[in-house]
Amino acid sequence: MINERRPDDMVRITTPQLADAYIEEQIKALREQIGDKKVLLALSGGVDSSVVAAMLIKAIGQQLTCVHVNHGLLRKGEPEQVIEVFKNQMKANLVYIDATDRFLDKLAGVTDPEKKRMIIGGEFIEVFAEEARKLDGIEFLAQGTIWPDILESEAGIKAHHNAGGLPEDMAFELVEPVRILFKDEVRVVGERLGLPANMVYRQPFPGPGLGVRCPGAITRDRLEAVRESDAILREEFAKNGLEGKVWQYFTVVPDFKSTGVKNGKRTFDWPCIIRAINTTDVMEVTVEHLSNELMDHLVQRIINEVPGINRVLYDFTPKPPATVEYE
């Protein structure tokens, strides 16, 4: 299984039957590879790590320890869903770390986008490594590496973001049960493993999370405005049949204020920018056009429900020239 490659003639997993066959085969292979040893997994709640967790829970149960690090930049309801699905429903051995203060304290006053990314990535590895050191007898590290990750790292397009990063003394053997799958196959397998549809069909969410949607120095109040407006946008997209149809959609709250008026009184608050895009390869993206009715409804909800917002703007810019994220 280590360094396993996708066979050239492998049939694309598109049906429940094919997914079930893959799951059965993997469970057997995982039990053979792991025996009675212990496995550690960084569980973000994203599609790939969630499917890996569900597969390992089925194969080895309590021999798996999942660590969910909440860096304070997750979307509304995400840590709660990870705890509900994996700890309460699947009875997994889950360690939940609320590291919000640690991340936000380190990020305080940092305006440079690349520096913010580095702090978030570096701190994540530190928190995870600290937890790993507290656990005894772990021999394996599970990862949600998927086949495009391997192809892209081999082609030199991007460094393999899963492998590596941990301190050198923490040498684990890797367990990668979705390594030979494409993303659409991971989703079908995830559904068959009993994961909720809104977890399996999630839109992409960047590693630095809401941190890149709170441009400039992150403050707790502005971050909260991003989180609340994003939750409203997701709720309305789901209600209006756009969830799963539009490739990615989110809000951004930039670091400037403008004058407004509410109940006859002057306000001086942030704008909230809505971005909704479609793409196949993320190299080029087009903008989703919303109906005027939905747009008006979103404006009303966001200005009335989100503290600190007095304007709502829509980003009509394709990529290129604008990237998807603001930082």
Least separation in angstroms between residue 121's CB and ligand XMP is 8
DSSP for 262-308 reads ETTEEEEEEEEEEEEEE-SSSSSBEEPPPPHHHHHHHHHHHHHHSTT
Q: Does position 297 bind ligand XMP by CB under 6 A? A: no
Is 286 an interacting residue with respect to ligand XMP (CB under 6 A)? no
Residues in contact with 61: Cβ distance below 8 Å, sequence separation at least 6, in sequence order: none
Angle between helices 183-192 and 16-34 (to 10 degrees): 90
Footprint (CB under 6 A) of ligand XMP, residues 229-248: 248
Residue 324 binds to ligand XMP (criterion: CB under 6 A): yes
Which one, 33 or 44, has the nearer CB to ligand XMP?
44
Q: Which is nearer to ligand XMP, 75 or 192 (CB)?
A: 75
Minimum CB–partner distance for residue 203 and ligand XMP (Å): 8
Only one residue has tokens 């598109």, namely: 14
Q: Which range in 7-15, 49-57, 199-207, 295-303 contacts ligand XMP by CB under 6 A?
A: 199-207
For residues 121 and 308, which CB has a smaller minimum distance to ligand XMP in the complex? 121
Among 165, 196, 206, 308, binds ligand XMP (CB under 6 A): 206
- DSSP for 209-244, please give it: GGGGGS-SS--HHHHHHHHHHHHHHHHHHHHTT-TT
Which C-beta is closer to ligand XMP: that of 5 or that of 183?
Answer: 183
Q: Which residues, including other chains, have CB under 8 Å from residue 180's CB and lie 6 or more apart?
A: 4, 5, 6, 7, 10, 147
Q: Please report, as ranges, the residues that interact with ligand XMP according to CB under 6 A.
A: 117, 204, 206-208, 248, 282, 319, 323-325
